[in-house]
Structure 1
């Protein structure tokens, strides 16, 4: 591996082996209602392999099983896709949707554990994280699948999309709570703009086509780049059959968002969306890290990424937008019981900016406009915070945040259980993992009733 590539060093240094460990040491007391499995994904190329871009590293999934106040086991496994053994994505007959890194996210739906990468089919895993194989919804999925599907907490439906630099550029899909594909519709007017994430509300689906689009001249293997020549816009379509044909596009300001915290319909019928957004300079600085090419070296994967809010008004056909904060953050999460509905609290990972500082976990209170930051300390990077509701919760933030830390001083990792209602209280419990876990991307909590 090339040590000059920032995504192969420090917190992102790949793990070189697969481990299984039982009865993990716990400091503090694990809440008894934490019965289930935390799974998280990371880009983790095999020894001897140097990918040309952070996003091209093969997927490795890490899992921790909790039950009855104990940390029963930890496992990490590569997702065994054709790409892990060098199979190309592009073939003589076109893209091979099974040649996936499967390294961006991992979710559970309808009893299936799915490792995701937006350019390919999902890959099904067992609960012990062994690879079952590519999953195409019984042949009904013929496009790639986003790494950021949305499961409606009320209906149980899974909403997702496939995007491509070749027609059809955007296809919207819905799977039933039981896992059957029930809707696939091409979205007219969509372009090759990068669509990594999207959002749903109670009645709508929201796509953002922003300032980064397909660029065949990009040499990193990820063919996208910033363009000042395209007009950024926001597309809103009604949920349900026939909705894609009724998409409505709204002009917005330049920028690029990779992840959205949430979206909802307010009391005036407007659609509100929030997420960290990069400006042109922030995208270029971040891309330098992701691709490991040219220019000054930066030690962080995101720079100048700040929370932005868009409010689309169907009555006027316009969008108002603006910054919500000036903190450099990414990987926003919420209590997903409120996905698609108005939420008060959201969480994110804070990254050092031009002024320095440490990594940390941030809690935003959208009602009073305040934020609280839990400083992770020098040399420690927390992972995306996964919210788990507490038993008998009565408030939105009654619950726990689960985050896996990478500690460079100890060359070790821990799973922290934090009180989501009082972020700065410190860990309720700390689970010591058997080795350092590569800083990853996204993950999920799978409750006990869904792990059988």
Structure 2
């Protein structure tokens, strides 16, 4: 345990250093017998004391992946570090050698290979019969589907050499992956089939080194929100914080609408200065593109604040004051105009939908709420009905700090919300984590099952449910 006055190292964020396999975990209630598969989750989990603990940012912890396997009403877990090149460098040195890129304090050491660590901590899925772990600072890492042994980098069969986003989109009709990579001001769009073969690639220039963390796609378009959160490499090279809020440099917020068939990009004024943090989904309605996501009015240090930072200051202050709320943007392709409105006043993050409705019209969205920012990051879950405008919430009780909720559809589901929500919560009494399973149609009822883990899953970012058949197919393909 790291005893430092940095929220990113304490409470639900506190690192967990044991890799283990655990079987027949205690279950309160009953796991639905139809839930056979695995919830793969990433966590941000420094494996050594950060070089400058007061400067450490949550986004920079080493990736530890958890596989929570459910079968026949029973639960077991496996957790392993993603053994990245940077992880191995620090393991050989027996201490941290990489400082904070986001909060500064040190400069990259180009005598190291690599000079900047890819923590591989942001997102995980099963694609091309491989478990892939993503972080936008590099290519994804491959792990074994059940042992979570790190197997190296995945480069889409030699087609891609640069970094790719942690927020790919999957076409539910064919399993294709839609994604992109950012290099400075350049965005490179990619479309790969379900076997990892690259089908399309286009590029365009944003004109600014924007923090482009997420995007949305429809059947014909990809939409990128280019906002005032700017990554400043010159600041990073001098040891200064590199995440800057600069609406003047970005020219406010703009939407880049890329035609997936031609690569043509249409730019549309976003009507203000804000950052879109994460998205639910997007779909086409005639000549309109409807985009649902979360928006923050400031995300990064103001330039004059950086000059005034003092030793001992909370270097995560810029992040602690981020508040994101759900919004809808409607883009009229004919007129080139955009309209938007806030769809709920319940603040939160990590929005998800039933992934079977990706790229087409959805009705329901789910997210972790952040209504009270006094102590930890999240404090409950929310379900939003985009048709009625109603937002239901699950407050915290003895458990707090839920993760992003993952929707799992019931086999043969008759409606969009017929299924379960899986989320990880932290118990401050035991300092351990629990997997909660809620019936999505009876959202604000008590969970139907609580799986008590014998470990803590440090607060992470994203995850994916993979059914048992897909895992078995992946294992079979790796033995033939």
Q: TM-score when scaled to structure 2? A: 0.85
Match of 1:68 among 69, 72, 82: 72
Structure 1 stretches of 5 or more lacking a match?
A: none
Deviation, 1:401, is 0.3
Q: Deviations over 1:300-356 (max 9, x none)?
A: 856321112211111111111121122220000000101111111000100133699
Match of 2:478 in 1: none
2:269 paired with 1:239: no
Q: Is the 8 A contact 2:37 2:70 kept in 1?
A: yes
Question: Secondary structure of 1:85's match?
Answer: helix
Deviation, 1:295, is 5.2
Match of 1:53 among 51, 57, 71: 57
Which piece of structure 1 moves more, 99-108 or 119-128?
A: 99-108
Change (3 A) 1:271 1:183: same
Question: Secondary structure of 1:424's match?
Answer: coil
Q: Is the 8 A contact 1:53 1:222 kept in 2?
A: no
Which piece of structure 1 moves more, 45-54 or 90-99?
A: 90-99
Match of 1:279 among 286, 293, 297: 297
Change (3 A) 1:293 1:152: farther
Q: Is the 8 A contact 1:99 1:120 kept in 2?
A: no
Structure 2 stretches of 5 or more lacking a match?
A: 91-97, 102-107, 473-480
Equivalenced residues, count: 440
Deviation, 1:437, is 1.6
* Matches of 2:45 and 2:127, distance apart in 1: 24
Match of 1:262 in 2: 281
Match of 2:333 in 1: 314
Q: Is the 8 A contact 1:29 1:429 kept in 2?
A: yes
Match of 2:153 among 134, 142, 145: 134
2:472 paired with 1:442: no
Match of 1:430 in 2: 450
Change (3 A) 1:27 1:378: closer
Deviation, 1:413, is 1.1
Q: Is the 8 A contact 1:28 1:430 kept in 2?
A: yes
Match of 1:173 in 2: 190
* Matches of 1:145 and 1:35, distance apart in 2: 30
* Matches of 1:134 and 1:293, distance apart in 2: 38
* Matches of 2:126 and 2:321, distance apart in 1: 28
Deviation, 1:21, is 0.7
* Matches of 1:189 and 1:387, distance apart in 2: 33
Match of 1:338 among 357, 362, 367: 357
Match of 2:82 in 1: 79
Q: Is the 8 A contact 1:53 1:221 kept in 2?
A: no
2:230 paired with 1:213: yes
Match of 2:131 in 1: 113
Change (3 A) 1:429 1:378: closer
2:35 paired with 1:12: no
Q: Is the 8 A contact 1:416 1:431 kept in 2?
A: yes
Q: Is the 8 A contact 1:256 1:283 kept in 2?
A: no
* Matches of 1:96 and 1:228, distance apart in 2: 32
* Matches of 1:372 and 1:29, distance apart in 2: 24
* Matches of 1:226 and 1:199, distance apart in 2: 23
* Matches of 2:320 and 2:88, distance apart in 1: 27
Q: Is the 8 A contact 1:82 1:98 kept in 2?
A: no
Question: Secondary structure of 2:444's match?
Answer: helix
Match of 2:382 among 349, 352, 362: 362
Q: Is the 8 A contact 1:312 1:320 kept in 2?
A: yes
Match of 2:475 in 1: none
Deviation, 1:430, is 1.1
Match of 1:26 in 2: 27
Q: TM-score when scaled to structure 1? A: 0.90
Deviation, 1:190, is 5.1
Q: Deviations over 1:233-260 (max 9, x none)?
A: 00111223xx32x110101121112211
2:179 paired with 1:160: yes
Q: Is the 8 A contact 2:206 2:226 kept in 1?
A: no
Q: Is the 8 A contact 1:197 1:258 kept in 2?
A: yes
Question: Secondary structure of 1:387's match?
Answer: strand
* Matches of 1:144 and 1:80, distance apart in 2: 17
Deviation, 1:424, is 1.0
Query: CA-atom RMSD, angstroms?
Result: 2.8
